[in-house]
Amino acid sequence: MMRFAALTLAGALICAPAFAEPRQFTVHSADGTAINGQADLPAERTRAAVIFVAGTGLFDRDARFGRSGTPRDAIFADLAQRMNARGLTAVRYDRRGVRYGVPPAEMLDNAIAGTSTTTSQREDLAAVYDWSRARDGLNARCIVFVAHSEGLLHVARLAASGAHAPNGVIAIGGLLESPSSVVRWQMTGRDVYSLHLMDVDHDGRVTNAEVEANLSETPSSFADTAAPFLQPDGA
């Protein structure tokens, strides 16, 4: 099992973005599936690279997750520029079956996306990692994984497979419980907990007024809608 060092991103995150020259790549996973991505190269290259690993969802290399309506909604693309500003190459890839840079209706290849398993996602990551280290690839000598949510599990499974240890791993919303426990929280536990928080007078009844006044202070506010919590009778 690898030992993963904890690194800080503070310097990279506060630095203004720098222009990055993208290098497109295609690697093949263990089952032959093509995995596409790009390496954003800083103006002054070093042999250090960051590999971004997305969590649950059909994400492309940009990992668009925000709702601000700004370019920063593309979380991995935004972080990649900030890494470039510190001289780090940023490696980003599309989840298998996801097409990049096409209209939303054409984004998903269902036949390929349907082959995704926990094993295939580990092997997809391994292929990108091997390319990043290879002399005929990126030839990086210092590599850090930045993994979001379930992406940390892919990194952990890669570690358990005996892969070469990276220089560090950074988790964004990383799992600290079993996957089944996390899914249970996401599907039911989060909303139950949020309802308790919205019941500010502790009378065991959450009114529409309480929902509208307090939803924004609860974990369920991530969905950006109060509709599932509002009573049809307006009470």
One domain for residues 220 and 164: no
Residue 203 lies in a domain: yes
Residues 158 and 71 in one domain: yes
111-139 residue pLDDT tens: 999 999 999 999 999 999 999 999 999 99
Instruction: Verify that 110 and 196 share a domain, yes or no.
Output: no
Query: What's the pLDDT score for residue 222?
Result: 82
Residue tagged 């990055």 (tokens) = 20
Per DSSP bridges, beta strands 89-93 and 142-148 are unpaired
Would 19 be classed as within a structural domain? yes
Mean pLDDT (whole number) for 89-109: 96
Asked if the structure places residue 2 within a domain, the reply is no
d(CA 44, CA 60): 26
Q: What CATH number does the domain containing 77 carry?
A: 3.40.50.1820
Whether 59 shows a pLDDT value over 70: the answer reads yes
Instruction: Tell me the one-letter amino acid at 104.
Output: P
For residue 1, tell me if it sits in a domain.
Answer: no
Whether residues 95 and 45 fall in one domain: yes
Q: Is residue 25 part of a domain?
A: yes
Chosen domain end from 139, 156, 176: 176
Domain of 193, in residue numbers: 181-229
Q: What distance in Å separates the CA atoms of residue 118 and residue 99, rounded to the nearest whole number?
A: 20
